[in-house]
Amino acid sequence: MALDQSYVGRTYPPTAPYEVGREKIREFAEAIGDPSPAYTDPEAARAFGHPDVVAPPTFVFAITYKAAGIVVSDPELGLDFSRVVHGDQKFAYTRPVRAGDRLTVVSTIESIKSLAGNEILDIRGEVSDEAGEHVVTAWTKLVARAAGEDGEA
């Protein structure tokens, strides 16, 4: 069933602040096997000009994807999440995420397309810090694969 086009442009309320912890950044860096001291050593981060350890570039996805959940699970939109795969992902950074940040996300549905039975949803997440300054924008393309025998794997 095609998703309702009237949802294009819909913006959802800001999320509650996510507080970025040094140990969470360390855990994430270890999970991708990245030993860069910029992620774990405040002195090394300061040598690069940052006030505290910074997060790897893709760390913020954990926050924006959770925020996108409000879109994905919106019962009125009617997306079948069990058939959803991640199509594209893009980030544009004003500055890196760093320890101590309190980040909020505002999610907007940028487009809804239907292609060969697949529903393609583009969600933009604008991430801001406590001062309301822009940190990063994340664009996430989700594809709900067509149900039925002719659906592509």
Partner 1 sequence: MATEIRYDEVEAGTELAPQTFPVDRATLVRYAGASGDFNPIHWNERFAREVGLPDVIAHGMFTMGSAIRLVTDWVGDPAAVEEYGVRFTKPVVVPDDGVGAVIEVTAKVAAKLDDNRVRVDLTAVSAGQKVLGRAQAVVRLS
Residues that bind partner 1 (CB under 8 A): 24, 27-28, 30-34, 36, 38-39, 48-50, 54, 56-59, 61-62, 65-66, 82, 85-93, 95-96, 139, 151, 153
Q: What is the phi/psi pair of residue 32, to 5°?
A: -100, 10
Least Å distance, CB 44 to partner 1, is 10
Least Å distance, CB 45 to partner 1, is 9
Least Å distance, CB 56 to partner 1, is 6
Report residue 79 as tokens: 């997306």
Kindly tell me which of 2 and 47 has the beta carbon lying closer to partner 1.
47
Buried/exposed code over 84-106 (b: 16+ C-beta within 10 A; e: otherwise): eeeeeeebeeeebbbbebebbbe
Kindly tell me which of 12 and 139 has the beta carbon lying closer to partner 1.
139
Closest CA to 112 of 90, 142, 84, 137: 142
